[in-house]
Structure 1
Amino acid sequence: MGDVTGVGNRSGSAGVGRRLADICGADFARPAGAADEVAGQPARWVALPGSPRAVGDILRLAAEYDLSVVPRGAGTKLDWGAPPAQLDILLDTGRLAGVWHRSTGELTAEVGAGTPVRAVQAVLERSGQRLAIDVPSEGATVGGVVAADESGPLRHRHGSSCAQVTEVSYVDAGGALNRIGGRSASPDARRELAALLCGSHGALGVLVSATLRVQAVPASRLWVTRSVWTPLEMHDLVGEILSGSIAPAAIEIDLPGGQQYASWRVAGAADGSWQGSGHPAGTGRPRPSGPRGPGTLAVLIEGGPSDVAERVGRLGRLLGGDARTSAAPPAWWRQYPFGPADIALRIEVPIGDLHAAVYALRDAAGTPLPVRGSAGLGVVHAALPATTPPDRVAGILTAVRAVLLARAGRCVVVAAPPPVRRSVDLWGDRSDLSLLRRVKEQFDPDHRLAPGRFPGGL
């Protein structure tokens, strides 16, 4: 490793690097490199503590020298949200890894924050178990998933990834190790758990471990897919699924944008199935014949083999059209509709208004945009091209948020190129901003932990 002893900190001290090496070990503390940044903000040092105690020592050192600290897991979502106002120490949790304790009776497992989710799943799979966590980010760690409140398709049946957390151990801004949650925790303590770490981007505490719910791997899993022509048709189909007794594990939608959408529309017009900008033949459903619609609705059914087969049969009859069954998910399943350079949006709206939100996004952008996510929950992501000018992005956000505000919905910018990130309001209206500010002041009064990364820019 390089020499870290001569690097000064914000207050002019030259021994911070040496102190970090003493805490973590000489091979686990170094000056930051070109890749060590968070949403474009470069770090000054990187530290890899090997224990919760070492994490506390780092935070006490940061307090001593008035340094800022941002935790990092696998780095899969470091470009999400706002950049930190200051980044002195990038605290890498990679050594805080492992499945530390499993409780068979309570069906839980305590997992180190730096453990990749896929590694936990591999360990549990040996005994026929799993986490109900299927996040899209490849290589994501447990700590990173909790910090970003990231979830995948299984959130429809089992709740968000954070809903799988029953207990956490974290180090607060003062360097003290805390443990909250558990079977005996009060409702207030469980609410504190949710407010403290889930979605906080490391701005309230450094997670060192999480105790997660474990469940048996389903004996059978089948996907039923059906093409859809319009967001309205999607709305109708999802409503019928939810009102029936199908009990799906996930309901996902994939709506294309740009040229892909245009080519589908031309094909539909040639066949006579597509009429104007509405839905085919003036109904919510296309005819069974003709080309496939531009979008795809996919439903996952899990359970025992005979039960799954029966529910899949009923679902196929309910969906009609070109519904088909597969033992494998569609290629886009558990993937975001945006790439690393795109402007990524997250829309949350009551299920019955999701189609209105998609239409509002199309109207504001002047073209269909890729949209993908949990149609059964009203939580989807969308992508704007990276080349969209900042003022154009701001106009689209204003129009979409106006529609969503009347429907108790929200649109946030998940990730964007630096010029866009600096120019637009990433969060939109935050009626809970005063509450968020009080929480930040309570847990991090000196704004030392990931300053500016907390929702609302706190």
Structure 2
Amino acid sequence: MTPNLDVEGCSLREATERDAVCGVRPGRVAAPSDTDALARVMAAAHRSGLTVTPRGGGTALDWGGTPRSVDLLVDVAALSWIDHDAGDLVVEVGAGTPVADLYAALNSAGQRLSFDPVRRGGTVGGAVATGVSGPRRLLCGALRDLVIGMTVVRSDGVVARSGGRVVKNVAGYDLAKLHTGGYGTLGVVASVAFRLHPLPEALGLVSARVSSRSRAEEALASLRATSVVPSAVELDWPAEGPGRLDVVVEGTPAGLQARAGRTVRALAESGADGPPTVSEEVPEDWGLLPEEGTLALVTVPPAESVAAACRVVEVSGAVGASAHVRGSAATGSLVVSFPPGTDPERVRLAVDGLRSETAYPLVLLRSEPDVRASGVSPWGEVPGLGLMRAVKDALDPGHRLSPGRFAGGI
């Protein structure tokens, strides 16, 4: 018998291949019109014992582990709204709101969410669910640090709220942090409240080429010795050819000129190959990850960022896999990209080699279908897995939310 999911305020249709989550085609797709309708369809799915996976803009449906089943895909695109309190530097946003729309609205008010998106076309809910932050996490913190409140619909359809729209709200457990980066395995995000920052009056991007590990490390050491407080320090390390350091400084026009000058001198007098360049804006693709190929996230101590990037390229190259490393040299959050069509066995050997030869945690953010089929673990060895499973048991006792998409099959 087909479960009855006909609820008020929610459309329902049969799924297609375009709705697949990591290659798993759902049974049906539900599109609730608001949070109440989302709660009703989740309650109906709970009564019928259905597995559920949420979707925002659909830009990360190939991220994470392969779900064991997806009976129902819940599309939250209609939960799109922005409630901006400019005076308090706070905004509450529906999970289906496109990130681009949020940024445009905040920009018009002279404010911003200090989070660099890593994907084009994503929604706020999708950004929160995957939890990967871009370059400016150095100065303002990761996305999870900007979340001050969240409304989530539990697996049984109960609407739960954590935090609020007050930056200093410290009452109760900070459950919102659990859902950031949880891949929809603990609840379906309906809305999020963020703390904001004023738009800087001026920006400077200082870029320098570095031809070797030693020169890159010298340049970073020289930069750390200055009084410059950068918003981002990005490392770009290709499989072949010189690397690049990109340093972003923000502030008032007068102060920025001096800080950018100190940055240029620090890089030029140490490891830079040739004079650094200065621009007044970041590139259009700033912080965006490659849209194709297999991606891995490697987390390292910041002081070891360059050494880790070199080691990734070396280990990958030894097994015939070309790896490009980019990410924050100041926070140690590095993304490894393998070109589209790279032999899956070579990717597997590179991932296994990096996990066995280094102490750095490596997570596959996105795997091409052939790489996923090769059996390589997306998560590797995960510290604290027992605690994570206990949280899953508490918040989703039936294990119906995106089962298998998170670490350890959660």
Superposition TM-score, scaled by structure 1 size: 0.83
**Is it true that 1:414 corresponds to 2:365 in the alignment?**
yes
Amino acid at match of 2:286: W
SS in 1 for 2:364: strand
TM superposition shift of 1:15: 4.8
Q: Secondary structure at the match of 1:429?
A: coil
Deviation at 1:386, TM superposition (A): 4.0
Give the aligned partner of residue 246 of structure 2. Answer: 298
Which residue does the alignment assign to 1:428?
380
Letter of the structure 1 residue corresponding to residue 304 of structure 2: D
Paired AA for residue 316 in structure 2: A
> Residues 178 and 77 from structure 1, CA distance in 2 versus in 1: closer, same or farther, beyond 3 angstroms?
same
Matching of residue 23 in structure 1 with residue 23 in structure 2: no
**Amino acid of the structure 1 residue aligned with 2:305:** L
Aligned residue number for residue 54 of structure 2: 71
Q: 1 CA distance for matches of 2:332 and 2:213?
A: 12
Structure 1 position 172 matched with structure 2 position 154: yes
What do the CA deviations read for 1:237-283 (whole angstroms, capped 9, x no partner)?
A: 223223321100111121222xxx2xx4xxxxxxxxxxxxxxxxxxx
| Aligned position for 2:206 | 224
Contact 2:313-2:325 within 8 A present in 1 as well: no
Q: Once the 2 structures are TM-superposed, how far is the Cα of residue 330 of structure 1 from its aligned partner?
A: 4.4
Does residue 1:189 correspond to 2:173, yes or no? yes
Give the equivalent residue in structure 1 for 2:43.
Answer: 60
Residues 57-76 of structure 1, C-alpha deviations (whole Å, 9 max, x = no match)? 11111111111110000011
Determine helix, strand or coil for the equivalent of 2:266.
Answer: helix
Shift, 1:360, TM fit: 2.1
Q: Letter of the aligned partner of 2:85 in structure 1?
A: S
* Contact 1:39-1:82 within 8 A present in 2 as well: yes
Q: What SS class does the counterpart of residue 409 from structure 2 fall into?
A: coil
1:402 to 2:384 alignment: no
Given the alignment, which residue of 355, 368, 380 partners 2:334? Answer: 380
Q: Distance in 2 between matches of 1:198 and 1:235?
A: 32
CA distance in 2 between partners of 1:34 and 1:147 (Å): 22
After superposition, the Cα gap between the structure-2 partners of 1:140 and 1:232, relative to the gap in structure 1 and judged at 3 Å, is farther
State the Cα deviation string for residues 323-350 of structure 1 (Å, max 9, x = none).
Answer: 11111324653222x342x121111100
Note if 1:95 corresponds to 2:78. Answer: yes
RMSD value, Cα: 1.8
Consecutive unaligned residues of structure 1, counting only runs of 5 or more, are 1-12, 265-293
Task: Determine which of 57, 67, 81 is the counterpart of 1:84.
Answer: 67
2 CA distance for matches of 1:188 and 1:228? 48
What is residue 319 of structure 1 aligned with on the other side? 267
Q: Deviations over 1:409-432 (max 9, x none)?
A: 311111112232231011111111
Unaligned residue ranges in structure 2 (runs of 5+) = 269-273
Is the CA contact 1:360–1:403 (under 8 Å) kept in the aligned structure 2?
no
CA shift digits 1:192-212 (9 cap, x unpaired): 3212x0111101001110001
Q: CA deviation at 1:187?
A: 7.1
2:395 to 429, 438, 443: 443
DSSP 3-state at the match of 1:252: strand
Q: Residues 15-74 of structure 1, C-alpha deviation per residue, up to 9 Å, x if partnerless?
A: 53xx33x4335xx32111220111111011111101111111111111111111100000
Q: CA deviation at 1:316?
A: 0.8
Query: CA offset at residue 303 of structure 1?
Result: 0.5
CA-CA distance at 1:355 after TM superposition: 2.2
Work out whether 1:455 is the aligned partner of 2:407: yes
SS at 1:74's partner residue?
coil
Aligned residues of 1:413 and 1:426 also touching (Cα < 8 A): yes
| In structure 2, C-alpha distance between the alignment counterparts of 1:30 and 1:144, rounded to whole Å | 21
Distance across 2 between alignment mates of 1:296 and 1:453: 34
Q: What's the secondary structure of 2:93's corresponding residue?
A: strand
1:252 corresponding residue in structure 2 = 234
Tell me the matched-pair count. 399
Q: Contact between 1:390 and 1:424, CA under 8 Å: does it hold in 2?
A: no
Q: What letter corresponds to residue 256 of structure 1 in structure 2?
A: P
Map of 1:357 onto structure 2: 308
Q: Where do residues 145-156 of structure 1 align in structure 2 (5 Å cutoff)?
A: 145-156=127-138
Which residue is 2:294 aligned to? 343
Give the residue type in structure 2 aligned to 1:207.
V
CA gap 1:85/1:295 in 2 versus in 1, 3 angstroms? same
Q: Which stretch of the first structure deviates more once superposed, 103-112 or 295-304?
A: 103-112
Asked if structure 1 preserves the Cα contact closer than 8 Å seen for 2:323 and 2:339, the reply is no
Larger Rg: 1
> Any residues of structure 2 matched to 1:199-210 within 5 Å, and which?
199-210=181-192
In structure 2, the CA distance between the partners of 1:83 and 1:24, relative to structure 1 (3 Å rule), is farther
- Give % identity: 33
CA contact (8 A) 2:89 2:197 kept: yes
Q: Distance in 2 between matches of 1:392 and 1:369?
A: 11
**TM-score, normalised by the number of residues in structure 2:** 0.92
